Structure 1
Amino acid sequence: MKIAGIVLAGGLSSRMGQDKAKLQLSEQSLLTRAVDLLEGLDLDKTLVSGFYPDFNCITDIHQQCGPIGGLHACVEALYDDYDALFILPVDMPLMGKPQCAGLLSEFKKHPQGVFYEQANFPMILALTLALKNYLTEALAATQKKDYSLYSLLKTLEIQPVNVIQQQNYRFQNSNTPDQWLNCLEIHQKLQNTKE
């Protein structure tokens, strides 16, 4: 089975006030960290949903449609050559390899797709005609509510996966400056416990 890793990084970052992909953590951009994380898994290729000249990217066909727009562009580009997508947003800086590897294991049991219930992401989606059609129809709709990830997961019966509560911090994202500061504090605590 061929699985492509996708880092979702095509958003506007309007709540953050700056491009989240370029935020620095341990002298590395969040985009580089996310790409490195996916490249450390047993995936066939890693790409970025967005536009960053130093990376192998897939740009949105429909601009400003959120994650659904990025997923749509990736599905259209990769449908014929891959069986599934492992999707990780750029703004989850505390996500670790064990959580990603665990999701890959769950995908073997639930081949239609899996996602972490705590945050919807990361997720793995099988590249099916149902997914392709759903995304095309959602983006053709005039209501923004049709861009809902929750609706996609429910309609396609993607399997939710839970993690132990002690790992919930791994699923924090960084959409706002306050969330980013919180992630930095947690990251620092994690670094201090390693020393």
Structure 2
Amino acid sequence: MGCLLKQGGGLYARLRIGAVLLAAGEGRRMGGVAKPLIRLQGVPLIKRQLIALSGAGVDEVVVVTGFERDAVEAQVQDFPVTLAHNANYEQGQQGSVRTGLSALRGNFDAVFVLLVDQPLISADDLTELIAAFKKKPAGHVVVPVVNGQRGNPVLMDAEVLAKVLASEANLGCRQLLDKQPELVHVHETSNTRFVTDLDTLEDVAKLTQRTGWKLELPTREPSA
């Protein structure tokens, strides 16, 4: 993915950053809503994430599709991303993580794993995590934590990427971090955007009330 703005500089060398954007889920807790297609202030969530990634200077992005594949892929046609389809998306997020990481083509100092249903994530938030990754004293994965609540996205180095890809089928990124906490650098922050997501219709209503912004659910169309 081409960069609109390069982060870095100062005392720290610029990192080469990849990203996997998970956009495959069925939105079961919303009654089958394709969350990448939810529009916030008229812009689909998947486009908001890609704009944030570009603004943060990310070098390559893989978008993992699954549910409503054609409609989701149509939204990213104008972005220079790699598409990776998880045909088994019904089996959960861990397969999408592995599908996305496997599709990265470059060598990276760090790789983001992002959820498409975090509507408020911006380039500044991603840059905050990149800065935390550069400065961390130990660990291999930067995980934002807000008032004790673990958030997303996470930013991992090549060692953890390899561990995830080499893990058994039932071991996804989150489970790996739970079982090996020594890999984790906790980034304590008051930034609530890292813990704001849209899992249910109630979450949509709460965000609308909190921000005053307009959120529109997509019209359900048959998958190909």
**TM-score category, normalised to shorter length:** 0.7 to 0.9
Deviation, 1:148, is 6.5
Query: Which residue matches 1:83?
Result: 109
The within-5 A match list for 1:162-181 is 162-164=188-190, 167-168=191-192, 171-181=195-205
Change (3 A) 1:119 1:49: farther
Query: Which residue matches 1:94?
Result: 120
Query: Which residue matches 2:27?
Result: 13
Query: Which residue matches 1:58?
Result: 84
Counterpart of 2:22, as a letter, is L
Q: Take 1:135 and 1:147, find their aligned partners in 2: how far apart are those partners? A: 9
Deviation, 1:87, is 2.1
Change (3 A) 1:95 1:53: closer
Q: Take 1:158 and 1:115, find their aligned partners in 2: how far apart are those partners? A: 7
Deviation, 1:112, is 1.8
TM-score, length basis structure 1: 0.79
Deviation, 1:43, is 1.2
Unaligned 5+ segments in structure 1 are 190-195
The root-mean-square deviation of aligned C-alpha atoms, in Å, is 2.5
Unaligned 5+ segments in structure 2 are 1-14, 214-224
Equivalent of residue 138 in structure 1, options 162, 168, 175? 168
Equivalent of residue 158 in structure 1, options 173, 177, 184? 184
Q: Take 1:120 and 1:65, find their aligned partners in 2: how far apart are those partners? A: 22
Q: Take 1:169 and 1:43, find their aligned partners in 2: how far apart are those partners? A: 19
Structure whose residues are more often helix by fraction: 1
Q: Take 1:137 and 1:86, find their aligned partners in 2: how far apart are those partners? A: 18
Counterpart of 1:112, as a letter, is H
Which has the higher mean CA deviation after the structures are superposed, 86-95 or 65-74? 65-74
**4+ residue runs over 6 A deviation:** none
Task: State whether residues 102 and 165 of structure 2, in contact with CA within 8 Å, keep that contact through their aligned partners in structure 1.
Answer: no
Deviation, 1:79, is 6.2
Counterpart of 1:126, as a letter, is D
- 1:53 aligned counterpart, secondary structure: helix
- 2:167 aligned counterpart, secondary structure: helix
Deviation, 1:61, is 6.5
Query: Which residue matches 1:193?
Result: none
Query: Which residue matches 1:116?
Result: 144
CA distances 1:143-178 after superposition (whole Å, capped 9, x unpaired): xxx4461443552612111112xx325521101000
Q: Take 2:133 and 2:205, find their aligned partners in 1: how far apart are those partners? A: 33
